[in-house]
Amino acid sequence: MTKLEIFDSTLRDGAQGEGISFSVSDKLAIVRALDEFGVDYIEAGNPGSNPKDIEFFQRVAEIPLQNGRLCGFGSTCRKETRPEDDQNVLSLLGANTPSVAIFGKTWDLHALQVLHTTLEENLRLVRDTIRFFKERGKEVIFDAEHFFDGYAHNPGYAMQVLSAAHEAGADALCLCDTNGGALPDAIADTVRLVCVRFPGTRIGIHCHNDSGCAVASSLLAVRAGAVQVQGTFTGIGERCGNANLSTILPGLRLKMGMDCKGDLPNLRHTAMKIAELCNMQLPSSKPYVRASAFAHKGGMHIDGVSKLSRSFEHVPPEAVGNERRFLMSEVSGRTTVLAKLAGVAPELEKNSPEVAQIVARLKELEHEGFQFEAADASFELMVLKTLRRFVPHFSLSMYRISGEYPFPDGDQSASAMLSIQVDGTAETTAAMGYGPVHALDTALRKALAVFYPELNKVRLTDYKVRVLTGTAATASVVRVLIESSDGDTTWTTVGVSTDIIAASWQALTDSIEYILHKKEAAARCR
């Protein structure tokens, strides 16, 4: 079986995504995460583009990689210029990576109207630049930019560009759907033709997601003969993003039986870690790696998956480092609740009176506006309280919130003072914040850190408010969902009230109580 190569471009193409800005430390941490996961190539960016990348290439050279091969990125030399006289080419050489990815124009439109050069000169740029790096011992991957658009417009010239790269010694020819507009069947047909035209040559695929087909196109390109798959681990990138490797990899291994590197049981952890370093929140519906990927709500689904997991799960969740979730709602029956209770109170049976109490309490709370299908942590705490197995870690004596305008401290518009008690010891503190909830959250963590220093690692990662009774205008009942993380795990809690601060306080305290309870339970198991 042909071994596939996984080429990650998070640090280059991913950095071009809207809202993405890596520090040098972020980039180094992503390199370590990708190498630990086991990708073949880590495209590290353009060393001549800015001072940050220059520093990064200096520091990354000190990291001993176990799996990944570092790859610099750059263009062919400028028109009417020799590679040895082109500063960007020399900067790429100076980065001293074992591999380089060189992109060149394969669409005659770009050569003529973007580069403003002749078609023959464009071929020279490709030949001379690749030869320059091959003569200096580099592995060269030629990124055939806009190849599918170029092939559709002028197939003869697009193939000429590939031939120029191949004859100059390129080790791999990667076909790029740079606009992201080609459909999967067209990509597969074209890849198949290129593989026939260049037998024995490593053909790669690089897709963007502008038509929503990047993953499908990449998988079909492999079916058609491509042996290198380029993308970004979480799908970030220019415009609508790149092909998502965290979706492609399990497709290749678990569904297509392909031979490729990558620690799949570590897939979810790696995706979440990279998302954190990107300062972004992955949608819960991301396949394989996010919370909804193996979440079941319908009673028939839960009953089926409880009896035979593959009846409603296309792959085992543990195969990609994820876990099954049963969602709680007002339509949940005892079977659904019992399945959810397996991780909290496994000794309970369907006809246990405690299960009936939990179901009744669930329906009561959801009638009030609580929603537990997206707040597993609050559901678990509710169960423990109903079973009288929960001991609070702190109690609130008072809090006071105030807001001012004009803002007294930059754009920090609110302050909070609170007093809590832990085992009879009181702690009073105050904090400023960017709004009342932020001020209250900061003050609470500040007070609790005196007793529970491990909470210094916990932070709020998402905050959502929904109005439940719009007819009551500003007196409406609101539901607050808070997502928290300690860097390793993520959990969600919920609060409901006509007072948005009170609802936020419920969700905040549940967030803290949950992680303290989990850490104590883990310590007891040890």
Q: Residue 444: is its pLDDT beyond 90? A: yes
Determine the angle formed by the axes of helices 119-134 and 87-94, rounding to 10 degrees.
30
Mean pLDDT of all residues in the chain?
A: 91
Is 436 a member of any domain? no
Residue 381 reports pLDDT greater than 90: yes
For the cut 60, the answer to whether the pLDDT of residue 346 exceeds it is: yes
At residue 397 the predicted structure's pLDDT band, cuts being 50, 70 and 90, is: very high
254 domain-assigned? yes
Q: Are 191 and 224 in contact (CB under 8 A)?
A: yes
Segment 7-13 shows an average pLDDT of 97
- Those residues whose C-beta lies under 8 Å from the C-beta of residue 42, and which sit 6 or more positions away, are 8, 11, 31, 34, 35, 65, 68, 69, 70, 71
**Strand bridging mode 425-433 / 414-422:** antiparallel
- pLDDT (0 to 100) of residue 126: 98
Mean pLDDT calculated for residue range 368-377: 81
Name the band, by pLDDT with cuts 50, 70 and 90, for residue 406. confident
Show Cβ contacts of residue 62 under 8 Å, excluding neighbours closer than 6 positions: none
Position 460 pLDDT exceeds 90: no
- Residue 361 confidence class, pLDDT cut points 50, 70, 90: confident
The per-residue pLDDT for 306 is 79
Q: What is the pLDDT of residue 413?
A: 85
Mean pLDDT across the stretch 387-396?
93
Identify the pLDDT of residue 335.
Answer: 67
What value, to the nearest 5°, has the Cα angle with vertex 223 and ends 217 and 226? 80
User: Cα–Cα distances in Å, from 504 out to 205, 270, 284, 481, 484?
Assistant: 47, 31, 22, 8, 13
Helix axes 334-341, 299-307, angle to 10 degrees: 50
Residue 389 is assigned to a structural domain of this protein: no
Give the single-character DSSP code of 412. Answer: B
Separation CA 19–CA 280 (nearest Å): 9
pLDDT tens sequence across 103-129: 999 999 999 999 999 999 999 999 999
Q: What is the pLDDT of residue 41?
A: 98
- From residue 84, alpha-carbon distances to 45, 50, 58, 78, 92 in Å are 20, 20, 22, 11, 11
pLDDT digits (tens, 9 = 90+) for 264-304: 999 999 998 899 888 888 888 999 999 899 988 776 787 78
Q: Can you give the residue range of the structural domain that contains 194?
A: 3-277
Residues 6+ apart with CB under 8 A from 457: 486, 487
Domain assignment of residue 386, yes or no: no
Distance of alpha carbon 34 from alpha carbon 139, whole angstroms: 20
Which segments within 30-133 are labelled E, that is strand? Answer: 41-43, 69-75, 99-105
Instruction: Kindly report, residue by residue over 26-64, the tens digit of the pLDDT.
Output: 999 999 999 999 999 999 988 876 778 888 999 999 999
What per-residue confidence (pLDDT) applies to 471? 59
Helix (H) or strand (E) holding 425: strand 425-433
Distances in Å between the Cα of 309 and the Cα atoms of 130, 249, 289, 296, 312 are 51, 22, 18, 11, 6
Instruction: Kindly report the backbone phi and psi dihedral angles of residue 236, in degrees, each rounded to the nearest multiple of 5, phi listed first.
Output: -75, 160
Instruction: Label residue 334 by pLDDT band (50, 70, 90).
Output: low
Query: In total, how many domains does the chain have?
Result: 1
Q: State the Cα torsion 346-349-354-358 to the nearest 10°.
A: 80
Residue 107: predicted pLDDT = 97
Which pLDDT does position 329 carry in this prediction? 58
- Helix axis angle for 24-37 and 267-277, nearest 10°, is 170
What the block records as the tokens of 146 is 């806009």
Q: Distance between CA atoms of 1 and 150, rounded to whole angstroms?
A: 31
Neighbours of 218 (CB within 10 A): 28
pLDDT of the residue at 345: 83
Q: Is residue 168 part of a domain?
A: yes
- Rounded to whole angstroms, the Cα distance separating 173 from 260 reads 19
| % pLDDT > 70, the chain | 95
Provide the pLDDT for residue 222. Answer: 98
The pLDDT assigned to 125 comes to: 98
Residues 225/46/232/66 CA torsion (nearest 10 deg) = 80
If pLDDT is split at 50, 70 and 90, which confidence band does 1 have? low
pLDDT the model gives residue 409: 63
Lowest-pLDDT range of 59-63, 311-315, 356-360, 513-517: 356-360
- The pLDDT score that the predictor gives to residue 43 is 97
Phi, psi values for residue 42, rounded to 5°: -120, 105
Other Cβ atoms less than 10 A from the Cβ of 280: the count is 14
- pLDDT for res 473: 60
Residue 257: C-alpha distances to residues 159, 212, 433 (Å): 31, 24, 52
Cβ atoms within 10 Å, residue 474? 7
In the predicted model, what is the mean pLDDT of residues 176-199? Answer: 98
Domain of 33, CATH number, reads 3.20.20.70
